Each structure stands twice: as structure tokens, then as C-alpha cells.
Chains A and B, each alone.
Chain A
Amino acid sequence: MSSVAVACPSCQSSLPGALCNTGAIAHCPACDNRIQAEIFPAFFKPSSAGRTGETLLEEGVSSCFYHEQKKAVVHCDACGRFLCALCDLDFNGRHLCPVCLQAGRKKGGLPELENRRTIYDSAALWTAVLPILFWPFTLVTGPLAIFLAVFSFFHPSSLISRTRIRAWLALAIGLLQVGGWIALFIIALRH
């Protein structure tokens, strides 16, 4: 159980239980600020101690790939290597070894671990639209927007599924800008 009482998010005085989980705003008895606190069962759960690998005592028992002296308890769902309790990383119901987890993170194979993504279709659209205010820049940004839009078709977009409308729009605007510049150059050369 948590050894720390529930504190008012405003003044940090401990809150009485009657003020929590009411589903409505209440006044803190100490600072009188309007607050709401919803407490969930995880608040009372003790933090569990980390697991350690069991030392291998008998012959013929499989050992951990990474720790020869430790007994294997599970195999990695990605590479199949035997793992001791210490190396077994529970990842959303899957058992992974640290190496596979690291590799998954680096290669982007585990979207659950991703905490940042470049959104090329949005970048393409902004690149196409923003410089319209300073139109001479479109000489550079137009082709760049086309490049980014095409690039976005071959790269993952946001974690939140969305349509390719931004990329298509950026492509159309970029092509218009490039077309405009080509027309302008042709007219300038003729005159």
C-alpha cells in the first residue's frame, strides 16, 4: 500500500477519503480550492521487487543464454533464446530478451516503444502552404514539398491512423508552385 496520503493538487495537504472519488469537484478543506481527485486501486498496490534469476544447480537443465549460471524459465518470443527470470522482459504479454527489445526499439519494429515520429506528410503540407505568404521562397519550398510528400508515402506516418490527404494536398500545391515557376521562367525567356 502507498505510504503517502492523497494530497490536494493545489496545497498538498492530505485529503480526507470522503473527498476522493466523488466524481465531482469539491473544496479542499485546507486551501478551499476547487479540486477533484480520483484514486484507483493501483494507488494502494505495493511496488513489487524485481525478479532475479534462479541459480542453476542440476545438470541437464537449460540455462539462460545471457547468464550461464542461471536457470532458463522462458524463451524469447522474438529470437527463441532461453532466458532466466532476470532477462525475461514482459512486454505486453510477450517475453522478450533485452537485445530483441533494444533492436525493436532501434528499428521501429515495436510501435509501443516509439515515443517520437517525424510526420512527413504534415511537414510536406506545411512546407507547401506556409511559404505562400512569402511567395519567392516557393522556388525552393515547392520542390521540397513534392519531395517530402513522395517521401511520406514510403515512411510510416503518425501512430494514429490517418488518411494520406495531407501528402496528396502537399503534392498538388507543390506541383502547382513548380509549374508556376516554370511558366514564369518561360514567359521571362520569351520576353
Chain B
Amino acid sequence: MASTPNPYRRLPGTGTGVLEYVKLYLAADHLLQVSSNGFMETYRRFYLRDVQAISVRESMHGKVWNGIWGFIAFLFTIVALQTTGPATFVWWGITGIFIFLLTLNVARGPTCVCQVQTAVQTRPLPSLNRVRRAGKVIAQLKPLIEAAQGAMPAGEVARRIDETRRGPAADSMTPIESTFTPPVV
């Protein structure tokens, strides 16, 4: 039987939710966000021609996890230092696990909240939860979105944004009706 070519290409990153994991896929004309709980998949599509903005905000999650892993590793280090005999190896082993988790978290870089905005919705992209990864994916998506919408000269975007900003609806330092929904933490 002839198999149909897979129209989707996996983008880096896996996000997690309540009993589910979230992945992002790229098709020719849209992004597909797949949330799966192992039994059912839920799909959300963002057509490249409709994407108005992608925003990234650095979050505290990574630092909080660093603190948690560091604190637990510190506690087990104290226990390991005060233990003698063969049990020491067990405590150092447990300490090692938490030091490994801490190192892994530090190595993956700062965490972030990434959102995609269209004319009708602003949605988080949980799979892009690291600044470095989000940057890479955005760099991949940018030329594709611009190809779908028509590229705008570099200075033109800034000029138009400033134009909107100077308008009566926007005051430079006053909170305005947001184009980005603040993330729910």
C-alpha cells in the first residue's frame, strides 16, 4: 500500500500540561499544536497567513526549579556527609540525581512563556518553554510567515508600530488594551 507523505514536520520542544504533553508541528501553511494525554489528541491550528505576532517573555519557572533541585541536593549532601558506612554511597547517589537535575535545568537555559497571536486569539505555545529553543523556532518560522504574508521592510514594521503608539489610543507608559494576553501562571 502506498503511504502518503507526512505533511507535518516536528518542531523542537515538548511542553507539559495537566496529564498531557504538547508538541508543535509545522505544515506547509500552518502550525499544528498537538496536545495528547495518551488516549486522545487535541489539535489547534495557526495558519501562517494569520499569525500577527509571536511573543516571548522570560519566566521565573527555571529559577524556581533551580532553587528546588539545589535545595534538595543541599539537604541530601548534608545527610550524606553525616552518614558513615555503605549508606553513604546511597545518599551520595541520591544527591547525584538532584545535582544532575539541577545541572540539566541550568544547561537548558532560561525558561519562557511563548505566545502566538492571530486576529481572533492569543494562545500560549507550551512546547516553546525555553528562551533558546523559542528563539530557534521563531527564526525558522519567521521567513515562512513572511513568505505567506509578504515581507515588510525592516524599518517599516518599527515605523508603523511607533505610528500606532503615538496615536490617541496608545499612551507610551500607560497599560493599554493588550494585543498579548498576559499568561496565566
B180 close to chain A: CB less than 8 A: yes
Query: Are B8 and A161 closer than 8 Å at their CB atoms?
Result: yes
A15 close to chain B: CB less than 8 A: yes
C-alpha spacing A14/B150, complex, angstroms: 25
A21 close to chain B: CB less than 8 A: yes
Query: Are A20 and B115 closer than 8 Å at their CB atoms?
Result: no
C-alpha spacing A11/B180, complex, angstroms: 10
Contact of A160 among B34, B50, B57, B159 (CB under 8 A): B34
Contact of A3 among B50, B146, B164, B173 (CB under 8 A): B164
C-alpha spacing A71/B39, complex, angstroms: 47
- Name which residue of chain B comes closest to A112, CB basis: B45
B175 close to chain A: CB less than 8 A: yes
List residues 44-67 of chain A with CB under 8 A from any CB of chain B. 44, 47
Q: Which residues of B contact A18 (CB under 8 A)?
A: 158
Query: Are A159 and B56 closer than 8 Å at their CB atoms?
Result: no
With contacts A1-B160, A5-B165, A36-B135 taken as known, whether A122 is within 8 angstroms of B56 at the C-beta atoms is no
B19 close to chain A: CB less than 8 A: no
CB distance from A14 to the nearest CB of B (A): 5
Q: Count B interface residues, CB 8 Å.
A: 71
C-alpha spacing A176/B3, complex, angstroms: 30
Q: Is the interface of A mostly helix, strand, loop or mixed?
A: loop
Q: Which residues of A contact B183 (CB under 8 A)?
A: 9
Q: Per-position contact with A for B163-185: 1 when CB-CB < 8 Å, else 0?
A: 01101011111111111101100
Contact of A21 among B50, B158, B167 (CB under 8 A): B158
C-alpha spacing A185/B134, complex, angstroms: 56
Contact of A6 among B51, B53, B146 (CB under 8 A): B53
B113 close to chain A: CB less than 8 A: yes
- Name which residue of chain A comes closest to B25, CB basis: A160
B71 close to chain A: CB less than 8 A: no
With contacts A21-B158, A114-B43, A119-B41 taken as known, whether A38 is within 8 angstroms of B164 at the C-beta atoms is no
List residues 18-67 of chain B with CB under 8 A from any CB of chain A. 25, 29, 32, 34, 36, 38-45, 49-58
B161 close to chain A: CB less than 8 A: yes
Q: Is the interface of B mostly helix, strand, loop or mixed?
A: mixed
- Name which residue of chain A comes closest to B149, CB basis: A41
Q: Which residues of A contact B171 (CB under 8 A)?
A: 14
Q: Which residues of B contact A43 (CB under 8 A)?
A: 52-53, 117, 179
Query: Are A37 and B53 closer than 8 Å at their CB atoms?
Result: yes
B99 close to chain A: CB less than 8 A: no
CB distance from B51 to the nearest CB of A (A): 6
Extra 15 A-B pairs, beta carbons < 8 Å, given A2-B52, A17-B158: A5-B170, A12-B175, A14-B174, A16-B158, A17-B157, A21-B154, A36-B135, A36-B138, A38-B54, A40-B145, A42-B118, A116-B42, A119-B39, A158-B34, A159-B8
Residues of B within 8 A of A (CB): 3-6, 8, 10, 25, 29, 32, 34, 36, 38-45, 49-58, 110, 113, 115, 117-119, 131, 134-135, 138-139, 142, 145-146, 149-152, 154, 157-162, 164-165, 167, 169-180, 182-183
